[in-house]
Amino acid sequence: MTQESTSVLLIYTGGTIGMIENPETGALENFNFEQLQKHVPELAGFHFRIDSFQFDPPRDSSDMDPNAWRELVKIISDNYNEYNGFVILHGTDTMAFTASALSFMLEGLDKAVILTGSQLPIGVLRTDGKENLMTSIEIAAARNEEGKALIPEVCIFFENHLMRGNRTTKLNAENFNAFRSFNYPALATAGIHIKYNQVIRNYSKREDRDLKPHYLLDTNIAILKIFPGLQENVVAATLAVPGLKAVVLETYGSGNAPRKEWFIRLLCEASSKGIVIVNITQCSAGAVEMERYETGYQLLQAGVVSGHDSTTESAITKLMFLLGHGLSTEEVRKRMGVSIAGEMTVG
Ligand code: ASP
């Protein structure tokens, strides 16, 4: 396997990394991939093929949605045999959602799909975009002795850390170190060398994996974040939304919620109507353990299922994926408790 035989596809969706300041308004606006390349002449230093694909127009990641995820899945699937790895340039705001969604939609993935971006545009002197881009390309191209991708999964690379995509959350709107994977160790860290974490295995068996792209997603989902003072009419209205199929319930600590009679009653009624309610902790790290306190146990009795140590981004996109496949309520509840793309620590 030679350098020349290596190839990486760079998919530019938009985001700060490819933005430029409008001289009149001062606002950051998208610019195109050719302009972006001009600011990174170092790309020519890679002695392998790097092709690009650009979203037209590029978009701020606040405008990413399931259709954009489908487009990404299609691009990767159409070009899967042509390239050793894929790098997606993406805005940071919703990068963790896109990474989580792709991890479910790209079943059987055996190549690296690395999402990256930056906090400062690539044309700015102190940009973090160049490092992020260059290292992501190197990781996407990395192969083992057998010629297989070293990182056969969807990841986010940001500020020297390679993280499993569906374990990652954006936690800082200003620092270069903007992402964290609280409940799962980094897959690699970049310093003078890129050090891959040898202990971490991919979440599924590698032999004879074929990519199975998925496009079906159902977005009839809501997030309900509890807080002291949450009103009955707000919860009732949320759970009564026509067509609602699932709710991510963001609870306190290890999965606890108020013991108010109306709250438990509303959850019970929703569950028995077939709405899947998944318990995710508001804490950044740690897992839901509903058996631990009475305030959690009552949720279990109301039919709420545990999201274990999933991120909200992962729980939401996993629900979209499972519901999109038309599974029964019981089947969705069951699969929310099983890791399908390394998104949670169970058993
Ligand atoms: N608003 C931008 C985006 O997410 C922020 C960024 O890229 O960092 O597209």
Catalytic-residue membership of 6: no
255 ligand 1 Cβ < 6 A? no
Task: Supply 122's token pair.
Answer: 């690539």
* pLDDT for the residue numbered 30: 72
Task: Supply 139's token pair.
Answer: 């990781």
| pLDDT above 80 (res 33) | no
Look at the block and give the residue holding tokens 């954006």: 170
pLDDT digits (tens, 9 = 90+) for 86-115: 999 999 999 999 999 999 999 999 999 999
Mutational pocket test of ligand 1: of 92, 97, 172, 174, the residue with most ligand atoms within 8 Å of the beta carbon: 92
Q: Among residues 321, 337, 109, 292, which one has the least CA distance to residue 205?
A: 109
Would you list the domain boundaries of the chain? 3-213, 221-336
C-alpha–C-alpha distance, residues 98 and 169, integer Å: 11
Task: Supply 312's token pair.
Answer: 């909200």
C-alpha–C-alpha distance, residues 260 and 257, integer Å: 9
132 ligand 1 Cβ < 6 A? no
C-alpha–C-alpha distance, residues 13 and 53, integer Å: 9
Architecture per CATH, domain 3-213, reads as 3-Layer(aba) Sandwich (3.40)
- Comparing 55-59, 191-195, 243-247, the range with the smallest average pLDDT is 55-59
Q: What is the mean pLDDT of the chain?
A: 92
Q: Which of 2, 6, 13, 16 is catalytic?
A: 16
pLDDT digits (tens, 9 = 90+) for 248-261: 999 999 999 999 99
| pLDDT above 80 (res 198) | no
Task: Check if 3-213 and 221-336 are the same fold.
Answer: yes
Task: Supply 138's token pair.
Answer: 């190197």
**CATH code, 221-336:** 3.40.50.40
